[in-house]
Amino acid sequence: MKKSFVPALFALVLSASMFQFVQAQETPDLPEDYSYLTKLHVPDSVVQCVAAFDHWVENAPKWDTLIVPDRRVLAAKIDSETPIFSTGNPIPVDQVIVMRAFAKARGTAKWTRVDSRCGVRDGHVVGVSLTPNIKAQIVR
Protein backbone atom coordinates (compact mmCIF):
# COMPACT_ATOMS: atom_id res chain seq x y z
CA MET A 1 0.00 0.00 0.00
CA LYS A 2 2.83 2.42 0.83
CA LYS A 3 4.55 1.76 -2.51
CA SER A 4 1.51 2.96 -4.49
CA PHE A 5 1.26 6.10 -2.34
CA VAL A 6 4.73 7.44 -3.27
CA PRO A 7 4.16 7.62 -7.07
CA ALA A 8 0.74 9.20 -6.55
CA LEU A 9 2.25 11.82 -4.23
CA PHE A 10 5.08 12.48 -6.71
CA ALA A 11 2.58 12.91 -9.56
CA LEU A 12 0.52 15.33 -7.46
CA VAL A 13 3.55 17.46 -6.58
CA LEU A 14 4.74 17.46 -10.19
CA SER A 15 1.36 18.52 -11.56
CA ALA A 16 1.08 21.32 -8.98
CA SER A 17 4.51 22.67 -9.88
CA MET A 18 3.73 22.47 -13.62
CA PHE A 19 0.47 24.37 -13.03
CA GLN A 20 2.39 27.21 -11.35
CA PHE A 21 4.97 27.22 -14.18
CA VAL A 22 2.26 27.42 -16.86
CA GLN A 23 0.44 30.19 -14.97
CA ALA A 24 3.70 32.18 -14.76
CA GLN A 25 4.22 31.93 -18.54
CA GLU A 26 0.77 33.21 -19.51
CA THR A 27 0.31 36.84 -20.45
CA PRO A 28 -1.11 38.86 -17.59
CA ASP A 29 -4.85 39.40 -17.51
CA LEU A 30 -5.92 42.88 -18.44
CA PRO A 31 -7.49 44.92 -15.65
CA GLU A 32 -11.27 45.06 -15.80
CA ASP A 33 -11.17 48.84 -16.29
CA TYR A 34 -9.59 48.35 -19.72
CA SER A 35 -11.59 45.38 -20.98
CA TYR A 36 -13.72 47.70 -23.13
CA LEU A 37 -10.63 48.41 -25.26
CA THR A 38 -10.42 44.77 -26.32
CA LYS A 39 -13.99 45.09 -27.62
CA LEU A 40 -12.71 47.97 -29.78
CA HIS A 41 -10.08 45.54 -31.18
CA VAL A 42 -7.16 47.35 -29.59
CA PRO A 43 -4.06 45.09 -29.47
CA ASP A 44 -3.30 43.62 -26.05
CA SER A 45 0.11 45.29 -25.90
CA VAL A 46 -1.50 48.74 -26.32
CA VAL A 47 -4.07 48.00 -23.62
CA GLN A 48 -1.29 46.88 -21.28
CA CYS A 49 0.55 50.13 -21.98
CA VAL A 50 -2.49 52.25 -21.13
CA ALA A 51 -2.88 50.33 -17.86
CA ALA A 52 0.85 50.72 -17.13
CA PHE A 53 0.67 54.48 -17.73
CA ASP A 54 -2.25 54.85 -15.35
CA HIS A 55 -0.42 52.87 -12.68
CA TRP A 56 2.87 54.73 -13.27
CA VAL A 57 1.28 58.22 -13.11
CA GLU A 58 -0.22 57.44 -9.69
CA ASN A 59 3.31 57.28 -8.25
CA ALA A 60 5.11 59.77 -10.53
CA PRO A 61 6.43 62.86 -8.77
CA LYS A 62 5.82 65.19 -11.73
CA TRP A 63 2.44 64.08 -13.10
CA ASP A 64 -0.87 63.92 -11.30
CA THR A 65 -3.33 62.64 -13.93
CA LEU A 66 -3.09 61.16 -17.41
CA ILE A 67 -5.82 60.87 -20.02
CA VAL A 68 -5.40 58.87 -23.21
CA PRO A 69 -8.44 59.45 -25.42
CA ASP A 70 -9.89 56.36 -27.11
CA ARG A 71 -9.17 57.76 -30.57
CA ARG A 72 -5.48 58.09 -29.59
CA VAL A 73 -5.45 54.52 -28.30
CA LEU A 74 -6.97 53.33 -31.58
CA ALA A 75 -4.33 55.31 -33.51
CA ALA A 76 -1.38 54.11 -31.40
CA LYS A 77 1.77 53.43 -33.41
CA ILE A 78 3.35 50.04 -32.78
CA ASP A 79 7.00 49.89 -33.80
CA SER A 80 8.35 46.33 -33.90
CA GLU A 81 11.61 47.32 -35.60
CA THR A 82 13.19 49.22 -32.68
CA PRO A 83 15.35 46.88 -30.54
CA ILE A 84 15.72 49.26 -27.55
CA PHE A 85 13.23 51.40 -25.62
CA SER A 86 15.16 54.68 -25.86
CA THR A 87 18.75 55.85 -26.06
CA GLY A 88 18.56 57.29 -22.56
CA ASN A 89 17.06 54.05 -21.22
CA PRO A 90 18.52 51.21 -23.35
CA ILE A 91 16.17 48.40 -22.35
CA PRO A 92 15.80 45.70 -25.03
CA VAL A 93 12.18 45.50 -26.24
CA ASP A 94 10.06 43.68 -28.80
CA GLN A 95 7.75 46.64 -29.44
CA VAL A 96 7.65 50.36 -28.78
CA ILE A 97 4.16 51.82 -28.61
CA VAL A 98 3.70 55.56 -29.08
CA MET A 99 0.46 57.49 -28.57
CA ARG A 100 -0.57 61.06 -27.80
CA ALA A 101 -2.07 61.78 -24.40
CA PHE A 102 -2.81 64.63 -22.02
CA ALA A 103 -1.23 64.94 -18.59
CA LYS A 104 -1.72 67.32 -15.70
CA ALA A 105 1.31 68.33 -13.67
CA ARG A 106 1.03 67.76 -9.93
CA GLY A 107 -0.24 70.85 -8.12
CA THR A 108 -1.45 72.70 -11.23
CA ALA A 109 -4.68 72.87 -13.17
CA LYS A 110 -3.01 73.08 -16.58
CA TRP A 111 -3.15 70.11 -18.97
CA THR A 112 -0.19 69.42 -21.26
CA ARG A 113 -0.07 67.43 -24.48
CA VAL A 114 2.41 64.59 -24.07
CA ASP A 115 3.85 61.86 -26.24
CA SER A 116 3.68 58.61 -24.33
CA ARG A 117 6.12 55.81 -25.13
CA CYS A 118 5.85 52.30 -23.82
CA GLY A 119 8.30 49.42 -24.26
CA VAL A 120 6.99 45.84 -24.35
CA ARG A 121 9.13 42.71 -24.12
CA ASP A 122 7.72 39.17 -24.06
CA GLY A 123 4.19 40.53 -23.57
CA HIS A 124 5.11 42.62 -20.50
CA VAL A 125 5.58 46.37 -20.17
CA VAL A 126 9.22 47.07 -19.31
CA GLY A 127 9.39 50.85 -19.67
CA VAL A 128 7.20 53.94 -19.94
CA SER A 129 7.95 57.61 -20.58
CA LEU A 130 6.01 60.82 -21.03
CA THR A 131 7.48 63.70 -23.02
CA PRO A 132 5.72 67.08 -23.22
CA ASN A 133 4.67 67.91 -26.77
CA ILE A 134 4.35 71.67 -26.77
CA LYS A 135 3.19 73.41 -29.93
CA ALA A 136 5.48 76.13 -31.15
CA GLN A 137 3.89 79.52 -30.71
CA ILE A 138 3.92 81.90 -33.64
CA VAL A 139 5.26 85.28 -32.67
CA ARG A 140 4.14 88.21 -34.84
Give the residue numbers spanning the domain of 65: 32-132
So what's the pLDDT on residue 86? 79
Backbone angles phi, psi at 33, to 5 degrees: -60, -25
* Any domain includes 101: yes
Position 39 confidence tier, pLDDT thresholds 50, 70, 90? confident
Alpha-carbon Rg for the chain in angstroms: 21
Amino acid identity of residue 68, one-letter, is V
Q: Is residue 4 part of a domain?
A: no
41: left (phi over 0), alpha (psi -120 to 50) or beta: left
Pick from 129, 134, 135: which is nearest to 97 by CA? 129
Is 96 inside any structural domain?
yes
In the structure, what pLDDT confidence band is assigned to residue 48 with cuts at 50, 70 and 90? very high
Asked, for residue 137, whether it belongs to a domain, the answer is no
Average pLDDT of the chain, as a whole number: 78
pLDDT at 119 over 90: yes
Give the pLDDT band (50/70/90) at residue 27.
very low
Tally Cβ neighbours within 10 Å of residue 73.
21
- Is 22 among the domain residues? no
Residue 3: the pLDDT is 58
Q: What's the pLDDT tens digit per position in 54-91?
A: 889 888 888 889 999 889 999 999 998 888 887 777 88
- What's the number of domains the chain is made of? 1
